[in-house]
Amino acid sequence: MDKNISLIDSLNDAQRLAVSAPNRSMLILAGAGSGKTRVLVHRIGWQIQVEGLSIHNILAVTFTNKAAKEMRGRIEDLLNISAHSMWIGTFHGIAHRLLRRHAKQAKLPDTFQVMDSDDQLRIIKRLVKSLNIDDTKWPPKQMMWFINAQKDEGIRARHMIEPNDIFQRVQLQIYKAYEAICDRSGLVDFAELLLRAHELLRDNEDVLQFYQDRFKQVHVDEFQDTNTIQYAWLRLLTEGRDNLFVVGDDDQSIYGWRGAKIENLYNFQSHYPNHQVIKLEQNYRSTGNILKSANALIAKNDSRMGKELWTDSGDGELISLYTAFNEQDEAYFVVEKIRKWVADGGLRQDIAILYRSNAQSRQFEEKLMATGTPYRVYGGLRFFERMEVKNALAYLRIMSNHNDDASFERVVNTPTRGVGAKLIDNIRLLARENEISLWQASVELINQNKLTPRAGNALKGFLDLIKRLGEEAKGKELFDKVKLIVEKSGLVEAYKKEKGEKGETRIENLEELANAARLFDFDEDNEENLNELDMFLAHAALESGDMQGDDYEDCVQLMTLHSAKGLEFKLVFLVGLEEGLFPSQQSTDDVGRLEEERRLCYVGITRAMEQLIITHAESRRLYGKETYPRPSRFLKEIPAEFIQEIRIRANVTRPVAAVKKSSSLPQAGTYRLGQRVKHIKFGEGVVLQMEGEGAQERVQINFQNVGLKWLMLSYAKLEVL
């Protein structure tokens, strides 16, 4: 009995109601930080402990792998059990699991491989080229988005009627050809995982029945961001059972651009007529000032279900706003604040720098690196996405499945072994004409004896190498298999020849890959009967985000606003609040998209527990161009009473002086903040602060090359630029 109490005694009344409600479909609709995820975890605990369900009867879907890991851990702590075999994961992870278990019924080869979007794009590029389609009119990237968008809606090429419009017709042709290649090579992209998993349940009564019986309760976190096919899949699983428990927040729907359907929240209510709605209104995460700012901002959106959050945790500090001169100054400011936080005894892992676009991370990374501050970037170029790692993985893949065309393309001539572009074109042609894989086409070409001896030998050399490696790898541990590839594929020798640090780093990364294989936690009793190698490869494709740096090191977290969903940090920097960046350029003339950007800003603000620092820059180099962006409209939408400006300019009492264009020694008052100057020894820099008067007057300058310096004006020979 005690245990039951511990399940609910740390909850408020509304949360308790949700956790302990009799089994039926439920919607927990509530704003950020109100305990939705906490409720979901405790609900699962309740069902196991009080309702007597086994962990096998539970399915829980989260938005990221990180969230899944955390949830598993929390359930284990709460119940003091092992939840190792519980089905908790992302939609993609769970779909993958289903497809592995039922590959045949899903009409997939046992050896199917998951490919990431990078591989997907390569295939589409090649396909567009081989069909002689003009890639300026039908850009591969846009085609990829088109294909994925169709799949997210559950639409296959064969479902689409032949359009009259030439653009659409060719687009459909590409979709068709792409599907054919994937089928032939046993490749499954991310959108395909979801679509296939849906078709698997839809078309196989026995499979559906099995999982409907097994999963007595189905739980979904961040429900507002499910897309059409994900929701359709959930509906199949819970059909006629009234056992779908979803938590979400319409104000945090931020994946509309990728096919998420906020309407699912409304549809849920009509599809599950017996459901109960519970709203949570108390926020436990943020201080009053942070929460009130977020509330005020999101109130500017018209399309809302409408709810308000309150907190009893006190107002806390005001939100700080810093206007930087440029992006370097912005990064400098942020890193200085971080250093102060750490010097005052704070942990780095409690800090997040959140930005709109991945490209913004570099400035911060450089400054963090320069000051020796450990940090971790989520979602940048992740470990498993690095070129050399992908090359090594491609060897592993093709060893496991010769028909994997994407891997074949990647490594047939990497490192170079004389399989030239023309020969590869021939292989592709034969493959396309006969609808066979590139590997089969190669075998065919060699058998036909039509190749020049040189080309024939080179190609045969590659096939033999893969076969030989496959033989040698048999019965070896995963770690040894990876080592074998790294050593014998020729990759290391090739990278050794690369000049400078790059090659060295690549070799280090390959060693790290072997290391990752050694540490890989293989679940031998996995229900899918996957062998260790296939499991590792799937892990690399699906969970690449989790493999960077040491989980235990105390480091600052850098990520896009999109990947910050669901997380919380004591100190949050929300950077680059500028028109054209955030809100993004494309969204400014579309009300729907602008509202999504505003929700994204709401997500950002509500990640902060204690302190929120917002920055924007007066000038920024963006995509190689100097821009002078206006401050983001979102800044004006936060009431001024919650904001304190920490603009350095505010510390200067003297009026801002006009700039004197002169290379002679400037007089006092010549400088303004942000003034570009040049010093004989230190080079170019920007004036940050001024102090003192007359002979004592000093300026602080941020020099591009040497960083911050205080200089006495009477000595320093500065040239105004």
Contact of residue 638 among Mg ion, ligand ATP, none (CB under 5-8 Å per partner type): none
State which residue, 249 or 534, has the beta carbon closest to ligand ATP.
Answer: 249
Question: What is the distance between the alpha carbons of residues 437 and 412, in angstroms, rounded to a whole number?
Answer: 13
Interface residue with Mg ion among 566, 583, 666, 685 (CB under 5 A) is 566
Query: For Mg ion, which stretch binds (CB under 5 A), given 35-43, 510-518, 550-558, 696-704?
Result: 35-43
Min CB(251)–Mg ion separation in Å: 13
Neighbours of 675 (CB within 10 A): 22
Site for ligand ATP in 529-568 (CB under 6 A): 566, 568
Q: Is 397 in the site for ligand ATP (CB under 6 A)?
A: no
Taking alpha carbons only, the member of 669, 672, 662 closest to residue 719 is 662
Q: Applying CB under 5 A, does 328 fall inside the site for Mg ion?
A: no
Q: Record the tokens describing residue 269, joined without a space.
A: 């209510």
Q: Which of 25, 37, 47, 563 binds ligand ATP (CB under 6 A)?
A: 37
Judge contact between 156 and 179, C-beta under 8 A.
Answer: yes
Crossing angle (nearest 10°) for helices 421-434 and 453-473:
70
248 contact choice in ligand ATP, Mg ion, none (CB below 5 to 8 Å, kind-dependent): none
Question: Token pair of 13, please?
Answer: 């009344």
Near ligand ATP by CB under 6 A: residue from 7, 15, 18, 445: 15
Q: 616: which strand partners?
A: 323
- Which single residue brings its beta carbon nearest to Mg ion? 37
Question: Which of 15, 25, 34, 37 lies at the binding interface for Mg ion (CB under 5 A)?
Answer: 37
Give least dist CB 483 to ligand ATP, A.
41
Of 26, 35, 123, 355, which lies in the binding site for ligand ATP, with binding defined by CB under 6 A? 35
* Phi, psi angle pair for 479, to nearest 5°: -55, -45
Active site residues: 36-37, 221-222, 252, 607
Cβ-Cβ contacts under 8 Å for 157 (sequence gap 6 or more): 150, 172, 175, 176, 179
Nearest to 97 by CA among 61, 148, 54: 61
How many other C-beta atoms are found inside a 10 Å radius of the C-beta of residue 25?
Answer: 20
Contact criterion met (CB below 8 Å) for 354 and 561: yes
Binding residues for ligand ATP restricted to 215-274, rule: CB under 6 A: 249, 252
Q: Which is nearer to ligand ATP, 11 or 441 (CB)?
A: 11
Encoding tokens for residue 243?
A: 């056992």
Does the footprint of Mg ion cover residue 224 (CB under 5 A)? no
Contact between 74 and ligand ATP (CB under 6 A)?
Answer: no
666: left (phi over 0), alpha (psi -120 to 50) or beta: beta
> Shortest approach of ligand ATP to residue 427 CB, angstroms?
49
Question: Which residues 273-332 are close enough to bind ligand ATP by CB under 6 A?
Answer: 284-285
Q: Is 576 in the site for Mg ion (CB under 5 A)?
A: no
Q: How far is the CB of 337 from ligand ATP (least distance, A)?
A: 23
CB closer to ligand ATP, 34 vs 57? 34
Minimum distance, C-beta of residue 197 to ligand ATP, in the bound complex (Å): 25
| One residue of 18, 29, 34, 335 binding ligand ATP per CB under 6 A | 34
Q: CB of 10: closest distance to ligand ATP in angstroms?
A: 6
CB-closest chain residue to ligand ATP: 35
Cβ 249 to ligand ATP shortest distance, Å: 5
Query: Which listed option, ligand ATP, Mg ion, none, makes contact with residue 688 (CB within 5 to 8 Å by class)?
Result: none
Q: What is the SS3 assignment for 319-343?
A: EEEEEECCHHHHHHHHHHHHHHHHH
What does each C-alpha distance from 350 to 230, 294, 511, 601, 698 come to in angstroms? 33, 20, 31, 20, 36
Which residue type, as a one-letter code, is found at position 607?
R
Which residues, at least 6 apart from 641, have a Cβ–Cβ distance to it below 8 Å?
none
Residue nearer to ligand ATP on the CB measure, 62 or 615 = 62
Q: Using an 8 Å Cβ cutoff, are 542 and 580 in contact?
A: no
Q: Binders of Mg ion: how many residues, by CB under 5 A?
A: 3
Smallest CA-to-CA distance from 665 within 697, 705, 702 is with 697
Residue 226 C-beta: closest distance to ligand ATP, Å: 15
Give the number of other CB atoms < 10 A from CB of residue 329: 23
Amino acid at 268: F
Q: Which residues contribute to the site for Mg ion (CB under 5 A)?
A: 36-37, 566
Q: Which residues contribute to the site for ligand ATP (CB under 6 A)?
A: 10-12, 15, 30, 32-38, 249, 252, 284-285, 566, 568
